[in-house]
Amino acid sequence: MSASHDDHHHGPAKGLSRWLYTTNHKDIGTLYLWFSFAMFLLGGTFAMVIRAELFQPGLQLVEPNFFNQMTTMHGLIMVFGAVMPAFVGLANWLVPMMIGAPDMALPRMNNWSFWILPFAFAMLTATLFMDAGAPNFGWTFYAPLSTTYAPSTVTFFIFAVHIMGASSIMGSINIIATILNMRAPGMTLMKMPLFVWTWLITAYLLIAVMPVLAGVVTMMLFDIHFGTSFFNAAGGGDPVLFQHVFWFFGHPEVYIMILPAFGVVSAIIPTFARKRLFGYDSMVYATASIAFLSFIVWAHHMFTVGMPLAGELFFMYATMLIAVPTGVKVFNWVATMFRGSMTFETPMLFAIAFVVLFTMGGFTGLMLAITPADFQYHDTYFVVAHFHYVLVPGSIFSIMAATYYWLPKWTGHMYDERLGKLHFWLSFIGVNVLFFPQHFLGLAGMPRRIPDYALQFADFNWISSIGGFLFGASQLILLVVVIKCIKGGKKATAQVWEGAQGLEWTLDSPAPYHTFTTPPDPKLIHAQ
């Protein structure tokens, strides 16, 4: 203990061991964010292979089986490797600073929950170099495609998912324990910033559904290696059961990837509109309602498997109901901006783009919720366009907005605003050129997960690929901006943004290695 006592006064240890042994929430947040950025580039590379192959009709660059490996790995890496760890990284950095806590509640477990992730993804990525090839059954890994007909590397995939799940569960327990126990005096639940609220609810979702994911891959493992028949019809199992269990996890999972984004945007828009967030209480209740509804809509992913009419209707109406709390949120963001003194720095640009483009993704979601229409849209590029609109200009734009917004607090330097704006506009244009035409492709009937397509789809695929290359390349600007900002730049003040509210802005920039070792003055804690 005496050594760590010394460390407390002398800042971080030097060298690699600092990062390996660290229990500091800021270090671990940084590790998560860099890891997720690396995975974002890796998953993005796979996406570039997909778009390059689809640039023209016919088979040009890759074998169909390798194409399937690319779509599978792209989905898995982006969902579990890029988006989820990025939000955990933001939570690590920000939650303690926002609630006036000295660190996370369980720092040692925090270290572990990060450091098992690289092993999980090394194992998953290593399958690309094995003879049997990487998993090729889609990120939703429907049985029996992922059991009876899977490549032998599926076992590596299963264990990788187990480790990712363990990491997420540990991270969530840590976040809940921190928020429930470590709030500074005066920081009541209804005074917490929305980012903390959304993460609290997200963490509960993760704890509820990650074990179910672990369960479903364990059943696969038993079916593959131990002769059970959970999903094997020959032995009395049912492949459709897989889809029910998977989507019982899968639907809350999509809210796990968007609720923290809501929190980020709810922090940024008030700052640059220079107004308090409109309808704080309703935001909290809307988040909780979305979380509750996420558990009773899963079968809308599988309308076409053959369900009784009553079931289809129930899942259709329940799904449409989610538009209500989500609409409350969008209304509140717009009302916050209404008659505000708005300025358009890079974080605000990303946040506004989030509101507009996420809402578009939400509307296509409503279209997909209509059961009879879904029979036409199911497994087409319309679905691809829908979930990419909510995940890329949704979740990922919010992560980028958060990065630009808090980067001065993390590094102590202002980022290059011109490069930031360039990054935003190229991303904004790129993402729309990339995904908008996919709506038309889907409505015209182009199925997803195919390496080749009918000639009638050629033009829109060509446009989509151009947008894809533009979007992909422009992400390197973000890397440049972040590295430049770490190395130097204009010194950031503690306040950083004129309109920013919250405890993290009362700290110096860069935030000291140890913060709030004594609780902040309760007078600094404002009602939201």
Partner 1 sequence: MKQETPVSSTTRVVKRLLLVVVGMFGFGFAMVPLYDVICDITGLNGKTSGRYAEVAPVLVEDRKITVQFMAQNTEGMTWIFEPNDAQVTVSPGEIKVVSYRARNTSDFAMVGQAIPSVAPNEAAQYLMKLECFCFQEQPLAAGEEVDMAIRFFVDENIPEKITKLTLSYSLFDITDYEIEGEVITAR
Instruction: Determine which one of 72, 266, 411, 464 is catalytic.
Output: 266
The helix-helix angle for 397-411 and 346-369 (nearest 10°) equals 150
Kindly tell me which of 232 and 364 has the beta carbon lying closer to partner 1.
Answer: 232
Q: One symbol per residue from 99 to 138: x for binding partner 1 (CB under 8 A), - otherwise; what is it?
A: ------xx--------------------------------
Nearest to 366 by CA among 398, 393, 347, 389: 389
What distance lies between CA 429 and its chain's CA centroid? 21
- Segment holding 89, helix H or strand E: helix 84-99
Kindly tell me which of 227 and 372 has the beta carbon lying closer to partner 1.
Answer: 227
Active-site residue, 139 included: yes
Task: Based on the shown chain and the rule CB under 8 A, indicate whether residue 173 belongs to the binding site for partner 1.
Answer: yes
- State the number of binding residues for partner 1 (CB under 8 A): 38
Active-site residue, 167 included: yes
Kindly tell me which of 437 and 520 has the beta carbon lying closer to partner 1.
Answer: 520
User: How far is it, in rounded angstroms, from Cα 39 to Cα 42?
Assistant: 5
Among 180, 356, 454, 479, binds partner 1 (CB under 8 A): 180
Active-site residue, 8 included: no
Instruction: Name the minimum Å distance from CB 387 to partner 1.
Output: 24
Active-site residue, 465 included: no
Instruction: Name the minimum Å distance from CB 253 to partner 1.
Output: 13
User: How far is it, in rounded angstroms, from Cα 74 to Cα 49?
Assistant: 10
Residue 334: count other Cβ atoms within 10 Å of its Cβ. 15
> What distances in angstroms separate CA 97 from CA 90, 250, 382, 402, 410, one per listed residue?
11, 31, 41, 15, 11
What distance lies between CA 196 and its chain's CA centroid? 16
Active-site residue, 300 included: yes
What distance lies between CA 33 and its chain's CA centroid? 12
Q: Which stretch binds partner 1 (CB under 8 A): 126-134, 175-183, 271-279, 394-402?
A: 175-183
Instruction: Name the minimum Å distance from CB 148 to partner 1.
Output: 8
Instruction: Determine which one of 103, 223, 312, 345 is catalytic.
Output: 103
* Contacting partner 1 within 214-233 (CB under 8 A): 214-216, 219, 227, 229-230, 233
Residue 408: count other Cβ atoms within 10 Å of its Cβ. 23
Question: Token pair for residue 86?
Answer: 């990025």
Active-site residue, 301 included: yes
Active-site residue, 255 included: yes
Among 236, 281, 483, 487, binds partner 1 (CB under 8 A): 236
Task: Based on the shown chain and the rule CB under 8 A, indicate whether residue 241 belongs to the binding site for partner 1.
Answer: yes
Active-site residue, 266 included: yes
Is the distance from CB of 93 to CB of 175 less than 8 angstroms? no
The helix-helix angle for 280-293 and 239-256 (nearest 10°) equals 170
Instruction: Name the minimum Å distance from CB 520 to partner 1.
Output: 16
Q: Which stretch binds partner 1 (CB under 8 A): 27-35, 244-252, 334-342, 422-430?
A: 244-252
Nearest to 449 by CA among 71, 54, 49, 55: 71
Question: Token pair for residue 137?
Answer: 């059954």
* Contacting partner 1 within 143-172 (CB under 8 A): 169, 172
Instruction: Name the minimum Å distance from CB 318 to partner 1.
Output: 17
Is the distance from CB of 391 to CB of 385 less than 8 angstroms? no
Task: State whether residue 345 is helix, strand or coil.
Answer: coil
Q: One symbol per residue from 298 to 317: x for binding partner 1 (CB under 8 A), - otherwise; what is it?
A: --------xxx--x------
Task: Based on the shown chain and the rule CB under 8 A, indicate whether residue 181 belongs to the binding site for partner 1.
Answer: yes
Task: Based on the shown chain and the rule CB under 8 A, indicate whether residue 208 belongs to the binding site for partner 1.
Answer: yes
Active-site residue, 103 included: yes
Instruction: Determine which one of 168, 172, 346, 403 is catalytic.
Output: 168
With b for 16 or more beta-carbon neighbours within 10 A and e for fewer, the 253-275 pattern comes to bbbbbbbbbbbbbbbbbbbbbeb
Nearest to 83 by CA among 113, 123, 39: 39
Task: Based on the shown chain and the rule CB under 8 A, indicate whether residue 234 belongs to the binding site for partner 1.
Answer: yes
**Which residues are part of the catalytic machinery?**
74, 103, 139, 167-168, 251, 253, 255, 266, 300-301, 326, 329, 448
**Which residues contact partner 1 by CB under 8 A?**
105-106, 169, 172-173, 176-177, 180-182, 207-216, 219, 227, 229-230, 233-236, 238, 240-241, 244-245, 248, 306-308, 311
